[in-house]
Amino acid sequence: MSTKKPIKTPESSSNAMLLLITRLHFYIGLFVGPFIFVAAFTGTLYVLTPQIESAIYKDVLTTQSVGESQPLSQQIAAAKSHLQNNLILFAVRPAPETGDTTRIMFLDASAQHSGARAVFIDPITLEVKGNLPVYGTSGILPLRTTIDFMHRQLLLGEVGRYYSELAASWLWIAALGGVFLWYKGGKKNKAELANKTAHLRKRRRHYQLGLLLFVGLVFVSITGLTWSKWAGDNISTLRNSIGWVTPSVSQDLTTIDHNMMMSDEHADHLNHSSHHNMPAKKPAAEKFEDVDALFDGVLKAARDAGIDANKLEIRPSSTKDKAWRVSEIDRSWPTQVDSVAVDASTMTVTSRADFATFPIVAKLIRWGIDAHMGILFGVANQIILAFFGLSLCLMIIWGYKMWWLRRPQAGSSAKPLRQAWKKLSGTQKTITLLIAIILGVSMPVMGISLLVFLIIDTLRWKYQQ
């Protein structure tokens, strides 16, 4: 007597897909949840601390002096006379407002994390107000630099970046899966509103908060991936191939090219010593007898060319055939990130990149990254991100409580991923496999962790047999 395989009806296939996503959502929460929690908590600390850092370093960042600012050349000389070692000057940030100090910035391998330090000069009296490591376009100081590196690598160096990439890779998948599970719950979710058991209360709060945070979960996950090492490199390659690059000025003086090149939006989270605009050696003395004396002229040329933001940075050329670069660095709203290249031998602008002329994709990328960092809308941005980060931490805690209240008892059986996979239709299997391969290759940390999930799931299933 022959036996026939059961026919997979649309309903059974749908239930199998529901089981597959439910199990995957559970694994993400159980194994990746702690990493997402740490990333959310440290990210919240980062966005909440600008005002704290400003208060801690108030004496360094501000001055009570009144009068006319001294030329940048004299401020640079004052900074250099303070240094014990002959460090390479790579940038100057003039005091943005009355009462602020000027930052004279030097390459310094001894500066932990950043590889750069700033000597803070009173622009009026030329008094040295401080000497501190600085990091990123935002110029964060030691307190926030430490928090920043906790957020991105747990202070473990490059190996620590696996943690943040793991969290960012799975967060958007968890969000989409959670919405799917809520949708499939349908009337069951409504019925639970009247149920007062502890498990269902936690579950209700978990999915309600997840729905509230859904857009933010996807946004933070995707923007966070652009900073990651492996997935981030793939994203950069994709952007270059389709032309989604951020324009930047050309500093080449041998063949003056007004076409704009690509710049890096992630300067805040990149080490100064590896930044592509960082001079690798001292500005060419063979071209300029006194490089420091040229800063004032370059600044004036940039101002005359329309660089009008209060916050800006001047970078001297690294070689004699390169132009100096003057960039606006105010990433709040409205964004001021125009830049020009200045030939310091003639004080003429040879290239420029104006944010107003950027393609819309480049603008969205700029705004997205700055919003992720809590910069774009100032205090309002900080409050929203802090609410989001703390809510995400709370949602993860509720998720663990749900699991603990309904954790499998000894001898009980769980429905593994492979069981759900077997019940999928052929089309569903093909689509699911293709998606897994594409995502696994694009986001290697996700791909490897998915294999780990499958191994755990298989061992769990065999243990139950």
Residues 6+ apart with CB under 8 A from 106: 83, 87, 88, 89, 90, 116, 117, 118, 119
Report pLDDT for 197: 66
Question: CB 394: neighbour CB atoms within 10 A?
Answer: 15
**Distance separating alpha carbons of residues 165 and 448, to the nearest angstrom:** 12
Ordered mean pLDDT values, 10 residues apiece, the chain (465 residues): 52 79 93 98 97 97 97 98 93 97 96 93 98 94 96 94 97 96 71 59 83 96 95 94 91 67 62 42 51 96 97 92 96 96 96 96 95 96 97 94 76 70 90 96 97 89 70
Closest CA to 138 of 383, 313, 385: 313
**Distance separating alpha carbons of residues 343 and 325, to the nearest angstrom:** 9
Q: What is the pTM of this model?
A: 0.88
- Contact yes or no for 314/280 (Cβ under 8 A): no
Q: Is 139 left (phi over 0), alpha (psi -120 to 50) or beta?
A: left
Report pLDDT for 281: 47
**Distance separating alpha carbons of residues 351 and 142, to the nearest angstrom:** 34
Residues 6+ apart with CB under 8 A from 178: 25, 207, 210, 214
Report pLDDT for 458: 86
- Contact yes or no for 227/370 (Cβ under 8 A): no
Beta bridge partners of 100: 62
Report pLDDT for 412: 57
- Contact yes or no for 309/336 (Cβ under 8 A): yes
- 340 by DSSP, 3-state: which? strand
- 152 by DSSP, 3-state: which? helix
- Contact yes or no for 154/163 (Cβ under 8 A): yes
Report pLDDT for 1: 47
Report pLDDT for 165: 97
Domain ranges of the chain: 10-47+155-229+378-464, 57-153, 230-372
